[in-house]
């Protein structure tokens, strides 16, 4: 099973793809998509295009994303909701099933500690997935954690 994990952001969007076979995980691909355009709508078009290319290049079976959470900044939450909507639409366009996970559940699955910080998540992602020779970006490692959480929770 090939799992796509997504860590949405309006400027930086984490991608992580894992293969799960017989209870073992293998890192297939991960990256951080930097959305550079100043215009939000053009950034969303870029995100759509990148997700379309990614799902065409990697025949993923399932996708997972962190559940939205309520923050204090309404504008940021509104923008993030739109980003999540674009990602959801791109997945639906490919008929990919999507599962949502709470941040605490994701951290617990990967690190064993539901309140792990971003550095702990990045270190454990590299360790558990045997990623050597490069440092994982925070968005990238969060996306891998989401994919890992899905693999652990989906039988």
Catalytic residue annotation:
7, 66, 139
Q: Reduce the DSSP state of residue 29 to 3 states and report it.
A: strand
d(CA 7, CA 64): 9
Q: What is the CA radius of gyration of the chain?
A: 15
Closest CA relative to residue 141, chosen from 5, 22, 25: 5
DSSP 135: P
- Put the strands of the sheet holding 24-34 in their side by side order: 24-34, 12-21, 2-7, 62-66, 98-101
Contacts of 41 (CB under 8 A, 6+ apart): none
């Amino acid at each position: 099973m090939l799992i796509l994990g997504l860590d949405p952001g309006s400027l930086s969007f984490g991608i992580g793809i894992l293969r799960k076979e017989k209870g073992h995980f293998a890192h297939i691909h991960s990256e951080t998509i930097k959305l550079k355009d100043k215009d939000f709508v053009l950034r969303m078009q870029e995100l759509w295009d990148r997700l379309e290319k990614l799902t065409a290049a990697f025949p993923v079976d399932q996708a997972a994303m962190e559940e939205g959470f309520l923050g204090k900044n309404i504008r940021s939450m509104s923008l993030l909701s739109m980003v999540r909507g674009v990602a959801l639409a791109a997945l639906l366009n490919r008929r990919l099933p999507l599962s949502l996970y709470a941040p605490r559940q994701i951290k617990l699955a990967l690190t064993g500690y539901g309140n792990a910080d971003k550095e702990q998540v990045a270190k454990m992602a590299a360790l558990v997935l045997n990623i050597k020779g490069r440092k994982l970006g925070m968005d990238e490692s969060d996306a891998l954690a989401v994919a890992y959480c899905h693999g652990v929770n989906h039988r």
